[in-house]
Amino acid sequence: MNALKRLSILLSLLLLITACATNLAGRRQLMLVSENQAIQASKQAYVNTLKPFQQKGKLNNDPKLVARIQRITDRLIEQAKILRPETRKWDWSVKIIDDPDTVNAWCMAGGKMAIYTGLIDKLKATDDEIAQVMGHEIAHALLNHSAERMSVAMATQLAVGAYAQSKNASPGKTALAAVAAQVAITLPNSRTSESEADRVGIELAARAGYDPRAAVTLWQKMAKLGGGRPPEFLSTHPSPKNREKALRKLVDKMMPYYLKNKL
């Protein structure tokens, strides 16, 4: 290994140790990319992720369903903007992916969201439950978990990049960041992140007028989905210990917001 390569590995490690930030919940996070970089990379990642579905005609355009999902997410976004005013600048967007077998939903950095028809149909999800799913997803983005997961992907990509460089085939940094943002939505959140997103998500939904009790029924329905493979959503959103108990406690706190704002 030559000196330059050794130096670049050392620098990467140093970056891993020192690049930290504090999120909305006051927790220190490992950050290889700033939130702004994550937002920029997610724009391309969003296009790249949706493209195969678009090409196969798998973006759902059913006007009734589109209006339903849009109405729910719009109300949540309104609350997100109050909680974190800088997200007013985000280019929020939601798409419905036509895939009856996949129980999943996500929100990238910068508010780029998707929900799969499998989640809506298999769970027979009510508006309140969809609001809990999307509130939880938006909370991950507000809490900078997207950039955090992207950093994990980046750390891996750094290794890949160093390898590619040694073969004189280094992919561009922007392309790497976009790949990292794409990979990020497939990585599991930590249980700490899950608890943070549960707390912020249920509050966004309650303030938007959605029943907090649906957070409990949603996770119950999710856990009950047996059959073949476990839902995609559960692999990226592992269940923290005592989730149900913690959510029930939150329900009591959130009921006043819900009763005040209920549709």
What residues are annotated to the active site?
137
Nearer to Zn ion, 40 or 73 (CB): 73
Q: How far is the CB of 96 from Zn ion (least distance, A)?
A: 19
Indicate whether 243 belongs to the interface with Zn ion (CB under 5 A): no
Footprint on residues 163-192 left by Zn ion (CB under 5 A): 189
Among 31, 197, 218, 254, binds Zn ion (CB under 5 A): 197
Task: Please report whether residue 145 would count as binding Zn ion according to CB under 5 A.
Answer: no
Task: Tell me, by CB under 5 A, how many residues bind Zn ion.
Answer: 4
d(CA 30, CA 16): 7
Residue facing Zn ion at closest CB distance = 237
Q: Does 237 bind Zn ion (CB under 5 A)?
A: yes
| Torsion angle of C-alpha atoms 43, 238, 96, 81, degrees rounded to 10 | -60
Gyration radius (Cα) of the chain, Å: 19
Q: How far is the CB of 236 from Zn ion (least distance, A)?
A: 7
Calpha distance 202→56 (Å, rounded): 34
Which burial class, exposed, middle or buried, applies to 19 when counting CB atoms under 10 A from its CB (0-12, 13-18, 19+)? middle
Can you tell me which residue has the tokens 């957070």?
215
**By C-beta, is 197 or 251 nearer to Zn ion?**
197
User: Whole-number minimum distance, CB 197 to Zn ion, in Å?
Assistant: 5
Specify the residue, 130 or 176, whose C-beta has the smaller distance to Zn ion: 130
Between 176 and 185, whose beta carbon lies closer to Zn ion? 185
* 185 vs 197 by CB, closer to Zn ion: 197
CB of 72 to Zn ion, least distance (A): 17
Site of interaction with Zn ion (CB under 5 A): 189, 194, 197, 237
